[in-house]
Structure 1
Amino acid sequence: MIRFYLLVLGVFFSGLSSAQNQPAAVEENVLSLNEFLAYVKEYHPVAKLANFEISSAQAELLKSRGAFDPQVMVDWKNKEFKGTEYYDVLNSTFKIPTWYGIEVKAGFEQNQGQFLNAENTVPDDGLYSAGVSVPIGQGLFINQRMADLRQAKIMQDLSQAQSDIRLNHLLSSAVMAYLDWYLANREVKLFDDFVGRAEVRFDGIKKSALSGNIPTIDTLEAGIIVQNRKLSLEQSNLKLIKSRLQLSNFLWFEDNIPLELDPFVIPEELSEGSLDPVLGTNFLQLENFVLEDHPKIKALDYKIDRLEVDRQLKAEMLKPQLDLEYNFINERVGQFENFNTNDYKAGLFFKLPLFLRKERGNLKLAKIKVNEARLDLDYESLQLQNKIQASRNEILSYNRQLSTFQSIVTDYASLLRAEERKFSFGESSVFLINSREVSLIDSRLKEIKVFEKLLKSKVELFNVLINDISLD
């Protein structure tokens, strides 16, 4: 598989070695959420599959319209045996199907031969005909070809709604992967900072111990702290690598080439409101949200429309089949002065099952399916309303929790600075500094976790607004 490293600054590509040779440019390689989603929508295979679904529906619509195409039919039969022409029969027809089951026909017959059936006898120059075939009973207002065309048109709209659901689900998953990558980066930065602090403190304590100002045992405790911080950093780096690879699953380029995210690419800095303009999840936009515009509600509406067409067709089957056909005939096409209304061909076809058990059973099943679909629509509408309200309450709660944790982090940072100042005067110990630092790290991690829940709750709200599919 061909792999590329993706470096983003106006979107350009570079190898890993060249990126390593340019450490000063690392901070410039920022992949923003908007750029990332643009790549997903443009090149991801699932996004292309959504377009194929629409194309397939358009092909089905074209196919169903074929039932209304004009038709030319030619039927020619000839038999000769031992120099005798038994018959030469030519019957050609031009037929135009119309919407309400009526068919307009025009034809030409020319038959000859010694053993020609008497009913096929026509003038030497042939016989022209023009007329209509009309279903008086079953099939006048709806028939199979009308139902197929209506359902194909509905299916086109349904495919668009399903395509939107598929694409939006892809975008929801992509945003989740981006958030995991962003939060893993934050954890790495957090532990990298505390590793640096622990190493500086260890160097200072070691120098003080060597000069005899503090007990040597303090260097052992300070060294253990350094190792613990490095262990936490390594665990965070592993989490970052996994999140980076997970994010790479959503990065593709032209010709279905998968991309791999370069280790030096970093996410943009996010705040509590960063996702709102991208996902449309601020509460002002929610006030203008129309439930009927939700892709899933649209899809259920289109499903009901399709079932309703099928119900109408099944109801039509209860009528008796009564088809009338009438054709004027003339020896010369276009010579209306010799036209005689008494020259015609006519026919009638009647059919009616006596008990209609099959037809009544099909209609009953069709009605049940329509009722089931309507109940499903009502249930999903109520569920969506409740999920939207639950998501709003969740976001408000996480906002309040985040504000509280930010205040706690500030207070713990003040306590740590005060403890370090006391230690510099010889009034504290490495144990107390480590205790304060552990409390600060724990509160910072909790702050990051709540921030993660806040952002992901907005993605969940976005998912409810456009998909209503549960995300892991």
Structure 2
Amino acid sequence: MRIVSIKIVWFCFFFNSLSGTSQTVQDTLVMNFKEYLGYVKKYHPVAKQANLVLNNAEANLLKSRGGFDPKLEVDYSQKEFKETEYYDILNATFKIPTWFGIELKGKFEQNEGVYLNPERTVPDDGLYSAGISVPVAQGLLINDRMATLKKAKAFEGQSQADRDLLINDILFEASLAYFNWLKAYQERMLFSDFVDNAFQRFQGVKRSAEAGDKAIIDTVEAKIAYQNRNLSLVQADLDLTKARLELSNYLWLGNNIPVELRASVIPDVALENYIDQALQINGRLLSDFDQENHPKLRSLGFKIEGLEIDKRLKANKLLPYIGLEYNFLTETPDVTDSFNTANYKAGLTFNFPLFLRKERGDLRLAKNKLQDVEYERLSTALQLKNKVLAVYAEVESLQDQNDLITNIVQDYVALLNAETRKFSFGESSVFLINSREKSLIDARLKNIQVQIKWLEAKAKLFKTLAINPTDL
């Protein structure tokens, strides 16, 4: 048996499939668990979907930054009727939004016409202006643009944590599929060994009965045992096929190409020797668990941050809107040569709802949403803490159970060997050997079951701690 990389496994699969030959791989191929997880993380569609969550957050952040982009506006209108130019109006404005709601403006106007509105009258070469608009109450410390950008940054952090959780979930599910495949393979190999033993025993008893050394009824009992082992082997073959197909759900290549494992590919039976290293849970003590850095709590923390921003914005809406605007006017674009404070355009805007029912309702809803998520975070933190404690206890308990059942299996092996030796001396019977063998099979099956439960507990620890392996 030799271990090869999963790339060679898939290459052999595709080569044989595309060539249409019936060639089989002579050497057994072992699919390493860690490498398997690496391909799941890189190529599985759900893992790619998880990355889209972060991509969407980055796009949303880029979109929110657009609220602070400078803008150029041009408004041009003209009217001519019966060879008379009623008006020809050109307004070009350049605006620069800033963080605290302050907006810088530069403007150029050039208007003419017989029926031009007198207030639009400007010098023949046009009129330049440069000014600023400032909200002095509502919209100064926080406004829609500022809140949108801050919430987008919080959403990006939340999306990063959510992506880690999604990838962690798919790796956990893929791990369970691998463990189930390993369990089915070990059970199949177990029954295969005992089928061979039962067949050899049946042949030996049959020869002894034909020679008159054994009773004919012993051959019937040996044959029944052989048939029962064969029946278990057929079922184990079916279980292995189903487990292999289930595992194939997590195997993909680039360009979204699904892969189906060949029967010649087997799991790594030495997985328990490096499971901690593969899942990166080695050396992670319960005392070192940093609950506040858990992706689930980080996600809720960023969500709370976004809701707090929204609450501040809603509270700011209770203030009256007072907007001040000042524009310096000049006939030439060179401000240093033509600065005259006597030429200006200024304005004041005031807006304040008398009852503020809409604003007070929005603020109350914002506070309720914030409090709801804060309660959720408290509950999640306690559940997470208790779940981590439970999983650590489960891992330790299953480790002890694994050691115990391993010793029990060794004792059953010793009993079966002793009974087989007595049978060779004619001091035992086929019934007793079958009984000892059945007890050993049950113990071996229990051993496999406990081992798989222990591996699953390791995967639960990986999932509960929300580890996102970086070197897969």
- TM-score scaled by length of structure 2: 0.94
CA distance in 2, matches of 1:305, 1:455: 38
Structure-to-structure mapping, 1:4-153, within 5 angstroms:
9=8, 12-14=11-13, 15=16, 21-23=24-26, 25-26=27-28, 29-153=29-153
Contact 2:286/2:392 (<8 A) preserved: no
In the alignment of these two chains, the number of paired residues is 460
- Amino acid of the residue matched to residue 206 of structure 2? K
CA distance in 2, matches of 1:45, 1:251: 10
SS at match of 2:465: helix
CA distance in 1, matches of 2:72, 2:7: 61
Q: Deviations over 1:55-76 (max 9, x none)?
A: 1111111111111111111111
Deviation at 1:457, TM superposition (A): 1.0
CA distance in 1, matches of 2:215, 2:144: 95
CA distance in 2, matches of 1:394, 1:359: 52
CA gap 1:21/1:125 in 2 versus in 1, 3 angstroms: closer
Structure-to-structure mapping, 1:62-461, within 5 angstroms:
62-270=62-270, 272-282=272-282, 284-334=284-334, 336-461=336-461
CA distance in 1, matches of 2:457, 2:63: 44
Q: Deviations over 1:385-407 (max 9, x none)?
A: 11111111111111111111111
CA gap 1:20/1:420 in 2 versus in 1, 3 angstroms: farther
Deviation at 1:86, TM superposition (A): 1.1
Contact 2:323/2:348 (<8 A) preserved: yes
CA distance in 2, matches of 1:381, 1:162: 16
Deviation at 1:259, TM superposition (A): 0.3
Q: Deviations over 1:123-181 (max 9, x none)?
A: 11111100001011110111111111111111111111111111110100001100000
Q: Deviations over 1:70-93 (max 9, x none)?
A: 111111111111111111111111
Deviation at 1:215, TM superposition (A): 0.5
CA gap 1:22/1:324 in 2 versus in 1, 3 angstroms: closer
CA distance in 1, matches of 2:277, 2:399: 17
CA gap 1:333/1:263 in 2 versus in 1, 3 angstroms: same
- Amino acid of the residue matched to residue 437 of structure 1? E
Q: Which moved more, 1:57-66 or 1:188-197?
A: 57-66
Deviation at 1:10, TM superposition (A): 7.4
Q: Which moved more, 1:285-294 or 1:199-208?
A: 285-294
- Amino acid of the residue matched to residue 421 of structure 2? R
- Amino acid of the residue matched to residue 370 of structure 1? L
CA gap 1:416/1:444 in 2 versus in 1, 3 angstroms: same
1:3 corresponding residue in structure 2:
none
Deviation at 1:283, TM superposition (A): 5.3
CA distance in 1, matches of 2:335, 2:452: 86
- Amino acid of the residue matched to residue 313 of structure 1? L
Q: Deviations over 1:343-382 (max 9, x none)?
A: 1001111011111111111111111111111111111111
Q: Which moved more, 1:370-379 or 1:172-181?
A: 370-379
CA distance in 2, matches of 1:176, 1:13: 25
Contact 2:10/2:259 (<8 A) preserved: no
- Amino acid of the residue matched to residue 13 of structure 1? C
CA distance in 1, matches of 2:130, 2:8: 72
CA gap 1:12/1:287 in 2 versus in 1, 3 angstroms: farther
CA distance in 2, matches of 1:392, 1:81: 88
CA gap 1:19/1:390 in 2 versus in 1, 3 angstroms: farther
CA distance in 1, matches of 2:335, 2:179: 81
Deviation at 1:462, TM superposition (A): 1.1
Q: Unaligned stretches of 5+ in structure 2?
A: none
SS at match of 2:196: helix
Q: Deviations over 1:90-129 (max 9, x none)?
A: 1111110011000000101111111111111111111110
SS at match of 1:466: coil
- Amino acid of the residue matched to residue 216 of structure 1? I
CA distance in 2, matches of 1:204, 1:337: 118
CA distance in 2, matches of 1:467, 1:54: 18
Contact 1:307/1:366 (<8 A) preserved: yes
Contact 1:64/1:145 (<8 A) preserved: yes
CA gap 1:259/1:67 in 2 versus in 1, 3 angstroms: same
Identity %: 52
CA distance in 1, matches of 2:21, 2:201: 35
Q: Which 4+ stretches in 1 moved above 4 angstroms?
A: 6-11, 16-22
CA distance in 1, matches of 2:6, 2:202: 37
Q: Unaligned stretches of 5+ in structure 1?
A: 1-5
- TM-score scaled by length of structure 1: 0.94
